[in-house]
Structure 1
Amino acid sequence: MRMNDTVALVTGSAQGIGRAIAVRLAQEGAKIVVEDRQDADAAEQTLAQVRAAGSDGCVIAGNVGSVHDARGVVDAAVAKLGRIDVLVNNAGVERNAPFLEVSEADYDLVLDVNLKGAFFMTQAVVRHLRDSHRGGRIVNISSVHEELPFPHFTSYCASKGGMKMMVRNLAIELAPLGITVNNVAPGAVGTAINNKLLHDPAELSALLANIPLKRLGKVEDVANAVLFLASDEASYVTGTTVYVDGGLLWNYSEQ
């Protein structure tokens, strides 16, 4: 199996894409740190699925938007499982508002979780890898909106655009340590965050018209891309974004 003898920390993995990533890596032998804001039933359900996949792990709660919490999550993960080899920065939020109505609180929430959280989680894991003299893998869950405008979601686009440039910089800076850094950028995926879209036939039809493959993405589509970048098969891939969007990015037009 491709991830034997590795430990992967997946943030925001109590549901959706994060859960699918945790389970997919577990299927390939990785032990999983299920991280979420709270150690609630959903996080425990992810851990149960990790175990059902034939692996093991633990649940660690923390707010990735807090530097103190991010460092605490990494310390706790190392204490429980001995090390971290792969970090998947999956935790993310969005807020829908016209630019002129965006509140400071919503802006801070989106940037803190999506960009600041990924930045300082990565810093904490890289310090651990450096101190233990090992290379590793950093995989960020970005979005097609690191490239594609998304009216009424400007803070979200700014966070993902920042993540794109962060990856490019860190790929160069961390290469001497044997650490690769990449993004996976999903397009429209059928998860709970898109419930409104999924129940609006007209809106869904308009979106599908923009997707050359004529379907929404599945969480497994994203998880498989993460698996590749987290594995030794991607040892020569760094500083790039893998788009998992059915061709949406290159065929999109605002209606």
Structure 2
Amino acid sequence: MYQDLKGKVAIITGAASGIGRAIALRYAQEGVHVVVNYHSKEYEAQKLVEAIKSYQVDALMIKGDTTNKNDMEKLVNETIQHFGAFHIFVNNAGIQSDIPSHTMSLEEFDKVIDVNLRGTFIGCQLALHHYMKSKFKGLIINVTSVHEIIPWPHYAHYCASKGGVKLLTQSLALEYARVQIRVNNIAPGSVNTPINAKNFKTEQDKKDADLFVPLGYVAEPEEIANVAAFLASKESKYITGQTIVADGGLSLYPSHRNFEHDQLLESFTDEVNTKR
């Protein structure tokens, strides 16, 4: 779909599963060579590399902790050694945990901040250094969350980290705009990924999660990957410092929906589908 992506090289952190995996496969479909960073899921990373190569592009898997700068420098250096350069850096690695704020330890708070915010800064900094040194009009995509703008009880550390990434992205985008380095966010809403699996334990859980989203369903990772492909392409070349919210309307305060109105719309939809 995006011919200008063919032959580019992308690094994706936390790529072994979920949204990172979907982005890696979508990039491969576009002809992008992909570097799969993973932390512990070696088998999943290996299977992903095999799937990427089936699209006739090259792929590497490199283990590393995104909060460890030495590991991330190794990730970047091995990528450059193998491919000569990279053009897209996707900070996707992230964690979350359900903890009431009054019982949250500083260690629990710091862990989420370290992975989601500090790790994203390390990735951004190393990408920026490479782009400046190589004089590339490089691209950085940070995967944040709809909770960069929506508060979430029991997830204060997560919201703080994602809100921090939002302003980090805006600051870096402004700082490097004159050299045509673009930095943007993707903010997914509810997505059917392993990190959210506990929310979909039963068929009723999944149905309730679907109904909470205004569009009526929880997204699949591929729907977020579509946004990542667009942001990596020249079709988005005038976009920087922005967050594209891909949440099915979740940030439109779905709890304020008029459920009687929703029922009327659903009846109308059923009638239309029957006539088809």
User: TM-score band (shorter)?
Assistant: over 0.9
Distance 1:145 1:133 in 2: 34
Give 2:134's aligned residue. 132
Aligned to 2:158: 156
User: Partner of 1:44 in structure 2?
Assistant: 46
Q: Which residue of the other structure, out of 218, 221, 227, is the alignment partner of 2:220?
A: 218
Q: CA deviation at 1:248?
A: 0.8
Count of equivalent residues: 254
User: Taking structure 1 as the reference length, what is the TM-score of the superposition?
Assistant: 0.95
Q: Map 1:1-255; keep pairs closer than 5 Å.
A: 1-38=3-40, 40-253=42-255
Native 8 Å contact 1:111 1:155 kept in 2: yes
- Preserved contact between residue 210 and residue 251 of structure 1 (Cα < 8 Å): no
CA positional deviation for 1:66: 1.3
The aligned amino acid for 2:181 is I
Alpha-carbon deviation of 1:202?
4.8
Name stretches of at least 5 consecutive residues in structure 2 with no aligned partner. Answer: 257-276
Q: Which runs of 5+ in 1 are unaligned?
A: none
Aligned counterparts of 2:197 and 2:110: Cα–Cα separation in 1: 24
Asked if the contact 2:209–2:217 (Cα under 8 Å) also holds between the matched residues in 1, the reply is: no
Contact 1:33 1:77 in 2 (8 A): yes
Distance across 1 between alignment mates of 2:44 and 2:208:
32
Deviation track 1:88-138 (CA, whole Å, cap 9, x = no partner) reads 100000111000111222222211111111111110111011111111110
Q: Which has the higher helix share?
A: 2
How far is 1:54 from its partner?
2.3
Q: Give the 3 Å change call, closer, same or farther, for CA 66–220 of structure 1 in structure 2.
A: same
3-state DSSP class of the match of 1:14? coil
SS in 2 for 1:253: helix
Question: Do 1:180 and 1:239's aligned partners in 2 also have CA atoms closer than 8 Å?
Answer: yes
CA distance in 2, matches of 1:185, 1:122: 17
State the 1:81 CA deviation.
1.5
